[in-house]
Amino acid sequence: MYGTTLANFCVQLSLVLDRDVIDKTAIAGVFDIHVEAPPADDPAGDATYPASPTDALGSAIFDAVQKLGLKLEPAKGSGELLVIDRVEKPSGN
Protein backbone atom coordinates (compact mmCIF):
# COMPACT_ATOMS: atom_id res chain seq x y z
CA MET A 1 0.00 0.00 0.00
CA TYR A 2 1.47 3.33 -1.04
CA GLY A 3 0.55 6.64 0.56
CA THR A 4 -1.81 5.17 3.14
CA THR A 5 -2.63 5.93 6.74
CA LEU A 6 -2.50 3.40 9.54
CA ALA A 7 -6.30 3.70 9.81
CA ASN A 8 -6.65 2.60 6.17
CA PHE A 9 -4.14 -0.19 6.74
CA CYS A 10 -6.37 -1.39 9.60
CA VAL A 11 -9.37 -1.41 7.25
CA GLN A 12 -7.45 -3.65 4.83
CA LEU A 13 -6.39 -5.96 7.66
CA SER A 14 -10.02 -6.13 8.80
CA LEU A 15 -11.03 -7.43 5.38
CA VAL A 16 -8.40 -10.17 5.38
CA LEU A 17 -8.82 -11.20 9.02
CA ASP A 18 -12.63 -10.92 8.99
CA ARG A 19 -12.62 -9.05 12.28
CA ASP A 20 -12.35 -5.39 13.20
CA VAL A 21 -8.82 -4.03 13.41
CA ILE A 22 -8.72 -0.63 15.09
CA ASP A 23 -5.83 1.82 14.94
CA LYS A 24 -4.94 2.82 18.51
CA THR A 25 -1.42 4.00 17.71
CA ALA A 26 -2.25 7.74 17.46
CA ILE A 27 0.43 7.91 14.75
CA ALA A 28 -0.55 10.40 12.07
CA GLY A 29 0.90 10.54 8.59
CA VAL A 30 1.01 8.74 5.29
CA PHE A 31 3.13 5.63 4.83
CA ASP A 32 4.18 3.14 2.19
CA ILE A 33 3.45 -0.29 3.71
CA HIS A 34 4.64 -3.55 2.19
CA VAL A 35 3.51 -6.82 3.78
CA GLU A 36 4.30 -10.22 2.32
CA ALA A 37 2.01 -13.15 3.03
CA PRO A 38 1.18 -16.39 1.22
CA PRO A 39 -1.55 -16.06 -1.42
CA ALA A 40 -5.12 -16.88 -0.37
CA ASP A 41 -5.35 -19.57 -3.06
CA ASP A 42 -2.35 -21.51 -1.73
CA PRO A 43 -2.18 -24.78 -3.72
CA ALA A 44 -1.39 -26.67 -0.52
CA GLY A 45 -4.73 -25.51 0.85
CA ASP A 46 -3.15 -24.04 3.97
CA ALA A 47 -4.36 -20.44 3.52
CA THR A 48 -8.02 -19.57 3.56
CA TYR A 49 -10.19 -16.53 4.20
CA PRO A 50 -10.97 -15.38 6.77
CA ALA A 51 -7.47 -15.65 8.17
CA SER A 52 -6.87 -16.41 11.82
CA PRO A 53 -3.67 -16.44 13.88
CA THR A 54 -3.66 -20.25 13.76
CA ASP A 55 -3.67 -20.73 9.96
CA ALA A 56 -0.78 -20.14 7.55
CA LEU A 57 -2.08 -16.85 6.11
CA GLY A 58 -3.11 -15.44 9.48
CA SER A 59 0.17 -16.42 11.08
CA ALA A 60 2.11 -14.78 8.25
CA ILE A 61 0.05 -11.59 8.56
CA PHE A 62 0.50 -11.41 12.33
CA ASP A 63 4.28 -11.94 11.91
CA ALA A 64 4.50 -9.34 9.12
CA VAL A 65 2.64 -6.74 11.18
CA GLN A 66 5.03 -7.31 14.08
CA LYS A 67 7.99 -6.75 11.73
CA LEU A 68 6.48 -3.32 11.01
CA GLY A 69 6.73 -2.58 14.72
CA LEU A 70 2.98 -2.93 15.24
CA LYS A 71 1.10 -5.38 17.41
CA LEU A 72 -2.28 -7.00 16.93
CA GLU A 73 -4.01 -7.67 20.25
CA PRO A 74 -7.43 -9.24 20.68
CA ALA A 75 -9.81 -7.07 22.69
CA LYS A 76 -13.50 -6.72 23.36
CA GLY A 77 -15.41 -3.58 22.53
CA SER A 78 -18.73 -2.21 21.48
CA GLY A 79 -19.82 -1.84 17.90
CA GLU A 80 -22.75 -1.03 15.69
CA LEU A 81 -24.86 -3.83 14.25
CA LEU A 82 -27.59 -3.82 11.68
CA VAL A 83 -30.25 -6.42 12.39
CA ILE A 84 -32.77 -7.33 9.70
CA ASP A 85 -35.95 -8.68 11.29
CA ARG A 86 -37.98 -9.25 8.17
CA VAL A 87 -37.81 -8.97 4.38
CA GLU A 88 -40.86 -8.46 2.17
CA LYS A 89 -41.31 -8.07 -1.56
CA PRO A 90 -42.13 -4.50 -2.53
CA SER A 91 -45.77 -3.91 -3.43
CA GLY A 92 -46.51 -3.10 -7.06
CA ASN A 93 -47.49 0.52 -7.72
Q: Is the pLDDT of residue 12 over 60?
A: yes
18 against 44, higher pLDDT = 18
Domain count, the chain: 1
pLDDT digits (tens, 9 = 90+) for 61-90: 888 888 888 888 888 877 777 889 999 888
Write the DSSP assignment of 10-45 as a string of letters. HHHHHHHHTS-----S---S-B--------TT-TTS
Domain that holds residue 36: 1-93
Look at residue 74 in the predicted model and tell me its pLDDT. 81
23-57 pLDDT, tens digit each: 888 889 999 988 776 665 544 544 444 555 556 67
